[in-house]
Structure 1
Amino acid sequence: IPLQRSPKLVFASAFPGRLGAIKIMLADKGQELKVVLVSMEEWQQGDLKATCVFGQMPKFEDGDLVLFQSNAILRHLGRNHGAYGKDSREASLIDMMNDGVEDLRSKYIKLIYQEYDTGKQAYLKDLPNSLCKFETFMAKTNSGFLVGKELSFADYNLFDLLLNHLVLCPKSLDNFPKLNDLVKKMSARPKVRALLDSEAFKKIPINGNGKQ
């Protein structure tokens, strides 16, 4: 299904955490995106929430196709922008690595929203055990990306999450050269750099509760 000229992304200000990868990927691909920010007051009224399949944001509209769940959106974009591997084998590996990214994101979200004040040091102590899995896999492929020789939606997802961790702990990637190189390489892509430097992107909080 070809993407329309300007797909629309709707989200509430309390749920910014999973938007980064979507916005970064679309920017890098030169795809225009209309962003609609819903106030918490409107969200809490419940009418909009009732229209969401799982009662969650974000909501992505591409013509008459409406998607929820951020990873479904990423996969849709991957298919439409050639970022889902060169064949079914690579696609399966990309799915696997993206699931790994989501495992780490779930841990990160738990820290931010439930354990930030009491569990941050323990989280950072254990973080290398999660990051080394990606580092080892990338060392085997030795292409600079998670899978194959081209960027996939999983790379955008990992890049976004690594940026969050560099805010949480600036030294978190010091012992992971492959991951550090991925962040540098992605950050240097002109359209990605322009997005990251834009005021519109900067003003969106990393997390809805102000923790970072």
Structure 2
Amino acid sequence: PHPYFFDYHRKYRPLFTTGRCGAMRIMMADQGLEWEEIVVDFADWMKGDLKATCVFGQLPKLEDGGFALYQSNAILRHLGRNHDAYGKDGKEAALIDMMCDGVEDLRLKYAKMIYQEYDTGKDAYIKDLPNHLDKFEAVMAKNKTGFLVGDKPSFADYSLFEVLLNHLVLCSSCLDTFPSLKSFVDKMSARPKIKVFLDSDAYKKLPINGNGKQ
């Protein structure tokens, strides 16, 4: 009944329980899209039948009619192309790709700490975090529109927003010295459809990470 469908397995690929699909959910909510999300039970996944149909043996998967797509950032780019969230021209699109890759670097650093080094590396990660956030602060401050590229949110903005929300749970003061990023989070959070989604039980019931750390 809805144009977008997710197959999403939290236990199998738990880099971000709200995250690998989190930016997609936020983006689709903001764009006014409806979707059906299918969560695959761990036991069913381990049977291997569904895994064998996945191009890289991984979820999430997006289905749009007869079109199937894997890899979270590829899905974000697909949504960006189809919903005017990929810049106004080729140069802006290239910059958005660059920012998306930068967000992915931060996402992976966070995931490594959460899943491999939480007990021994959390404090060091938080101490070093400004050295990563300052890059995004500089871009946001220079653009002066409240977004990473151009004058409206791109798929990279949705990805950065979702990652920053997770970091604010990790360290509530992490944006205190980054006024552009703090304003960005406030601005995105106040967008009416995003606000409704973030206030929904569907969003609140999701743990941030698959191992319970946050």
For the criterion TM > 0.5, the same-fold answer is: yes
Is 1:79 aligned to residue 81 of structure 2?
yes
Match of 2:145 in 1: 143
Shift of 1:6: 2.4
Q: Which runs of 5+ in 1 are unaligned?
A: none
The one-letter code sitting in structure 1 at the alignment partner of 2:179 is: P
Q: Counterparts in 2 of 1:133-212, with a 5 A limit?
A: 133-212=135-214
Q: Counterparts in 2 of 1:25-174, with a 5 A limit?
A: 25-174=27-176
Identity of aligned residues (%): 64
Match of 1:10 in 2: 7
Q: What is the TM-score with the length of structure 2 in the denominator?
A: 0.95
Query: Structure 2: how far apart are the matches of 1:160 and 1:45?
Result: 32
Q: What is the TM-score with the length of structure 1 in the denominator?
A: 0.96
Which string of whole-angstrom CA distances, capped at 9 and with x for unpartnered residues, describes residues 47-74 of structure 1? 1111111111101001111011000000
The one-letter code sitting in structure 2 at the alignment partner of 1:31 is: L
Shift of 1:44: 1.7
The one-letter code sitting in structure 1 at the alignment partner of 2:7 is: V
CA contact 2:2–2:36 (8 Å) conserved in 1: no
Shift of 1:5: 4.2
The one-letter code sitting in structure 1 at the alignment partner of 2:204 is: K
Q: Which runs of 5+ in 2 are unaligned?
A: none
Aligned-residue CA RMSD (Å):
1.0
Stretch deviating more after TM superposition (8-17 or 69-78):
8-17
Aligned residues: 209
Shift of 1:171: 0.5
| Secondary structure at the counterpart of residue 211 of structure 1 | coil
Query: Structure 2: how far apart are the matches of 1:74 and 1:155?
Result: 11
